[in-house]
Structure 1
Amino acid sequence: MSNSDGTVFDYPIGKAKVWVKICGITSYEDGQLAIEYGADALGFVFYPQSPRYLPLSQASNLLSRLNILKVAVLVNPSLEEVEILKKELPIDLWQLHGEESLALGHRLPRGKIIKALRPPFEQKIKEWADCTFAFLLDSPSEKWGGSGKPFDWGKASLLRQHYSYPFILAGGLNPDNIQRALREVEPFGVDVSSGVEKYPGKKDKKKLLDFIEKCKKPTHPVS
C-alpha cells in the first residue's frame, strides 16, 4: 500500500510484522528504549489535559534526539496550535483524537494523518479517507484521548474485512492480550500507552520489551 507521497507502508495481513506505535513518550530514555526494542513510531501527546502531556518547551529537544517516525497526538486543536507545532517540531504524522473538522485536517499534510475513531466507526471513515495515513480504532470513552480499555475486537475485524484502509488497533492493549488481538483483528498496526507503563508518562522496561516482541512474532488466524 502506498501513501499519497509515494512512501510504501507494508500492510501485514496474515504476516508476522505489525506496525507498532508506542504512545505517551515524555522522556528521551523511554523513547530510545522503544526504538532499541523495535518500535516503528513514537507518539507525543500535545493535549494539556492528558497526564502524558508534553509541553512545547520540552518537545523540540526531545523529538530532535529520537531517530524514528514521530507522531503528534492532538485533541481538538486550534489552527493556531497546529501551525505552531508544524513550524517548531519535526513531526512526521498527525494523530487527531477528537472531533476535529475536516477543514482542519486539510491544513495538515495530505496522507500524514492518523484519524482516531470511536464506535460507531463507519461514520467518519469515508469522510476522512482522502487525507489519512490510517484510522486508529479506540474504545468509547467519556474523556478525550486514549481510553486505556479494550472494546469488541469483532467490530474492528469486520471493518478490516470491508475496507482496504490501514487500521491501527488501540484501547487496552498490553503484553497479556496483544497476540490474541492480533489474531482476531489482523490490524495494520497497534498503538499502546498505558499498557506498557509503570505510571502515566513513564514506561515499564519489561512490559515494553514483552509487548514489542509479541507484536513481531508470527500469529495464527483464529480457527
Structure 2
Amino acid sequence: MVRTKLCGLGTEADVHAAVDAGADALGFITDVGVDTPREVSPDRARELATSVPPFVTTVAVTIPESVDDAVDVAARVDTDALQVHGDFAPDEVRAIRERAGVDVIVALGADEPERARDLDGVADALLVDSLTEEGAGGTGETHDWAATRELRHELSTPLVLAGGLTPGNVHEAVGTVEPFAVDVASGVERADEPGRKDHDALRAFVREATRTAHTGTA
C-alpha cells in the first residue's frame, strides 16, 4: 500500500490534524536558505517532531550546503529520517547516512534520471519532485508521471513521488507511477494563509492516495 508524507507542518494543530488524517510520515522544513512560509527553525522543528506519537515517522527536510551541515540538522532536529535537497554525490550521501545515523531521503528533480540511477542503492529513498533552481520543492507543479514510472521500474531504492500533488490528482498519480510513497506540501494548504494546512485537504489527500492503493485505476 502506498505511504503518505504530509510536509511543511509548522503548528501543533497542523501536526495533530496530519496524524489524525492517517499520514505515515510528517515533514518539517528547516534550514533551507530559500524564502518559504513553511520553514521553521531547527529548535521549533524538534519541538514539533517530539509531539508526534509512535508509529508515525518524522522527517527533517533541509537544503544543507555540506555534509557537515546535513549532519548538524539531523542532530539538532532529532527526527527519524533526514530529507536532503542539493547536489550531493553518492559518497557524500553515504557519509551523511553513516554520520547522522538516520535514514536519508534524497530529493532530486524529475529531469535528473541519471542522478537517480547513480544514487540507487545509496539513499534509503529517492524523492522525485518538480524542483526550483535552488533545489527546493513546494512548487505546486507536476511532472511527467509516465517517465517517473519508467524510472521507478529501474530502481531498487524506494521512490517517493512529489510535485504538484493534491487531493484531486493523487489518485491518478499513484495509479500511474505506483510509487512507494507520495509527498505533499503546497497542495494541502489554506488559500488564506500560506504555509498553514487545510485540515479537510489533509484527510482527503490521505484518503485518495490510500483508495488508489486498494482499488487500482480500472
**TM-score, normalised via structure 1 length:** 0.84
1:88 aligns with 2:80: no
- CA distance change for structure 1 residues 109 and 153 in 2, over 3 Å: closer, same or farther? same
**Superposed CA offset, 1:21-79 (max 9, x none):** 00101111111211111100011111132321111232222211112211111113334
**1:212 counterpart residue number:** 206
Task: Name the CA distance, whole Å, in 2 between partners of 1:80 and 1:159.
Answer: 30
Task: Give the match's secondary structure for 1:144.
Answer: coil
1:66 aligns with 2:44: no
Task: Name the CA distance, whole Å, in 2 between partners of 1:207 and 1:145.
Answer: 22
**1:37 counterpart residue number:** 21
1:171 aligns with 2:171: no
Task: Name the CA distance, whole Å, in 2 between partners of 1:52 and 1:101.
Answer: 27
- CA distance change for structure 1 residues 219 and 142 in 2, over 3 Å: closer, same or farther? farther
Note the C-alpha offset of 1:143.
4.1
**TM-score, normalised via structure 2 length:** 0.86
Task: Name the count of aligned residue pairs.
Answer: 206
1:117 aligns with 2:105: no
- CA distance change for structure 1 residues 98 and 219 in 2, over 3 Å: closer, same or farther? farther
| Aligned pair partner of 2:151 in 159, 162, 165 | 159
Provide the alpha-carbon RMSD of the alignment.
1.9
**2:3 counterpart residue number:** 19
Moved more, 19-28 or 41-50: 41-50
Q: Which has the higher helix share?
A: 2
Q: 1:182, 1:219 within 8 Å by CA — same for their partners in 2? A: no
Q: 1:157, 1:185 within 8 Å by CA — same for their partners in 2? A: yes
Give the AA of the match of 1:202: R
| Aligned pair partner of 1:142 in 133, 142, 162 | 133
Consecutive unaligned residues of structure 1, counting only runs of 5 or more, are 1-16
Give the AA of the match of 2:107: A
1:107 aligns with 2:95: yes
Task: Give the match's secondary structure for 2:4.
Answer: strand
Task: Give the match's secondary structure for 2:74.
Answer: helix
Q: 1:28, 1:66 within 8 Å by CA — same for their partners in 2? A: no
Task: Name the CA distance, whole Å, in 2 between partners of 1:167 and 1:86.
Answer: 21
Note the C-alpha offset of 1:181.
0.6
Task: Name the CA distance, whole Å, in 1 between partners of 2:130 and 2:73.
Answer: 27
Task: Give the match's secondary structure for 1:22.
Answer: strand
Q: 1:179, 1:219 within 8 Å by CA — same for their partners in 2? A: no
- CA distance change for structure 1 residues 221 and 83 in 2, over 3 Å: closer, same or farther? same
